[in-house]
Amino acid sequence: MHTCKLLKTGLKASLASALLLASGAAISADTDSLQQQLDALKSENKLIMQRLEATADMIESGGIDTNTSQSQGHEHGVDKTLRDKTFGGHGAKGNTTIGGYGEMHYTNTDSTNNIDLHRFILFMGHEFSDKIRFWSELEVENAKVDADGGEVAMEQAFLEFDISDETALRAGIILVPVGLINETHEPPTFYGVERNNVEKYIIPTTWREGGVSLTGRFADSFSYDLAMHSGLQISSGDSYAVRGGRNNVRKASMQDPAYTARLKWTGIAGVELGAALQYQRDITQSTDTAAGSATLLESHAVWQTGPFALRALYASWNLDGNGPKNVGADEQSGWYVEPAYKFTPKWGVYARQSSWDNQVNSGSDTQRNQTDFGVSYWPHEDVVVKANYQLLDKAGTNDDGFLLGVGYQF
């Protein structure tokens, strides 16, 4: 009995010891596992903090644009606020920004049935310091260049120097400060698959020249641009049409430079009123003695209230000389009115009535009239899908049909 009791006592002690050892091992294993989890959480938290700090640094230095919206595009604006939106703010020296935009069109009208990668643009900007930066756009049109057309060209390439918080000087290839879409023409920022024809044949967008400009703000609600740059070089072979005079700063003649001034007012929220004046002493660059000086007047108004928006623009050229006068091109003008309504942030509809004529005084029916109506869908604020129908009367000949398009900006 005594021996059994001892055996039972020993067995109990052994079992107790085993349980204690097992419990200790389990506690130790749980502790090790818990420590490993804590170490993993610490590592993850450290990584998150590093990423947050890196993101904050990028925002401060301009690497991320926190103000981009579908209505702004890559606006190359006239004041410090717009420049900050373009570059994400003036930050650390040596910051480089890239971006781009593009669009593809399908056109099915009485005269055309094709699909075209219409534009592919790459942006590149570099911040040398808080006061000096560079901005450029390289463009490919119609997918490739061959005997049938297409183009690879610099759309912009200029240095910008801050003179003060509200004033900057630019030098290089600049977009001429005229109209509504010559400076801001990324596909998500305007209605219609194609850009409007008034700002194609009269302005003529996209219109860039080589030169210098002074841009700034005053009195809170006013902005201005003053520019001296290369001018158009039109010819009698193209009936002195202004669009044919663009040479995109490819060995552009400076025999007769042009001078442009623009003033804009934005004193009421959602309203913009603007006017521009350009003068060129000889719009043929002294190559045609039958032609002479040219003056462009442009005015526009934009009104947006809630989901409703309205755009209106008028532009007119007056050309001196018997050459333009003899073919009626001494006056070239156009206008359009465009109401639009956004049902939601993703869906919008518009209509546009436009008219333009590059030979107003020809005595012939050279006026073009066009009605457009369509819809735009933004699955993302920087991506757009468009559809519209056009009714185009070209001197008694119709060119009606529908267009589909996709576009983006980043």
Domains of the chain: 100-409 (2.40.160.10)
**Residues written for the chain:** 410
The separation between CA 138 and the C-alpha centre of its own chain, rounded to angstroms, equals 13
Asked if 86 and 77 touch (Cβ cutoff 8 Å), the reply is yes
Q: Give residue 34's identity as a one-letter amino acid code.
A: L
Instruction: Place 148 in a pLDDT band, splitting at 50, 70 and 90.
Output: confident
Instruction: Decide if pLDDT at 16 tops 50.
Output: no
DSSP code of residue 69: -
Q: What is the pLDDT of residues 356-367, one digit of tens each?
A: 999 999 999 999
> How many angstroms separate the CA atoms of 15 and 9, rounded?
10
- What pLDDT is attached to residue 124? 97
Asked if 197 and 53 touch (Cβ cutoff 8 Å), the reply is no
If one compares 244 and 78, the residue with the highest pLDDT of the two is 244
> How many angstroms separate the CA atoms of 409 and 402, rounded?
24
Instruction: Decide if pLDDT at 227 tops 70.
Output: yes
- What pLDDT is attached to residue 198? 98
If one compares 215 and 58, the residue with the highest pLDDT of the two is 215
Instruction: Decide if pLDDT at 337 tops 70.
Output: yes
Instruction: Decide if pLDDT at 390 tops 60.
Output: yes
Half-sphere exposure of 183 (CA within 13 A, CB side): 17
Instruction: Decide if pLDDT at 264 tops 90.
Output: yes
Percentage of the chain with pLDDT > 70? 77
List of residues 6+ apart from 130 with CB closer than 8 A: 90, 93, 162
In terms of DSSP H, where are the helices of 155-237? 198-201
Report helix, strand or coil for 173.
Answer: strand
- Paired tokens of 15: 């079992």
CA angle in degrees (0–180, nearest 5) for 193-198-201? 100
If one compares 18 and 262, the residue with the highest pLDDT of the two is 262
Q: Residue for token digits 């939601």?
A: 344
- What pLDDT is attached to residue 81? 42
Instruction: Decide if pLDDT at 87 tops 90.
Output: no
Instruction: Place 395 in a pLDDT band, splitting at 50, 70 and 90.
Output: confident
Q: What is the pLDDT of residues 62-76, one digit of tens each?
A: 433 333 333 444 444
Report helix, strand or coil for 75.
Answer: coil
Identify the CA nearest to 352 among candidates 320, 315, 321, 311.
Answer: 311
Q: Is 121 exposed, middle or buried (0-12, 13-18, 19+ CB in 10 A)?
A: buried
Q: What is the pLDDT of residues 150-177, one digit of tens each?
A: 999 999 999 999 999 999 999 999 999 9
Q: How far is CA 113 from CA 58, 104, 191, 282, in A?
A: 46, 14, 21, 39
- What pLDDT is attached to residue 142? 95
List of residues 6+ apart from 108 with CB closer than 8 A: 401, 402, 403
If one compares 26 and 47, the residue with the highest pLDDT of the two is 47
User: Phi and psi at residue 307, in whole multiples of 5°?
Assistant: -80, -10
Instruction: Decide if pLDDT at 85 tops 50.
Output: no
Mean pLDDT of 305-311: 98
- What pLDDT is attached to residue 396? 82
Q: What is the CA radius of gyration of the chain?
A: 32
Q: What is the pLDDT of residues 17-43, one digit of tens each?
A: 433 333 444 334 444 554 555 565 555
Report helix, strand or coil for 77.
Answer: coil
Report helix, strand or coil for 78.
Answer: coil
Instruction: Decide if pLDDT at 302 tops 60.
Output: yes
What DSSP letter does each residue of 288-353 carry, written as one string?
Answer: -TT---EEEEEEEEEEEETTEEEEEEEEEEEE-SHHHHHTTTTEEEEEEEEEEEESSSSEEEEEEE
> How many angstroms separate the CA atoms of 315 and 245, rounded?
17
Asked if 62 and 94 touch (Cβ cutoff 8 Å), the reply is no
- What pLDDT is attached to residue 103? 98
For the chain, give the mean pLDDT: 85
Predicted structure pTM score: 0.79
Q: What is the pLDDT of residues 115-133, one digit of tens each?
A: 999 999 999 999 999 999 9
Mean pLDDT of 181-189: 97
Report helix, strand or coil for 92.
Answer: coil
- What pLDDT is attached to residue 350? 98
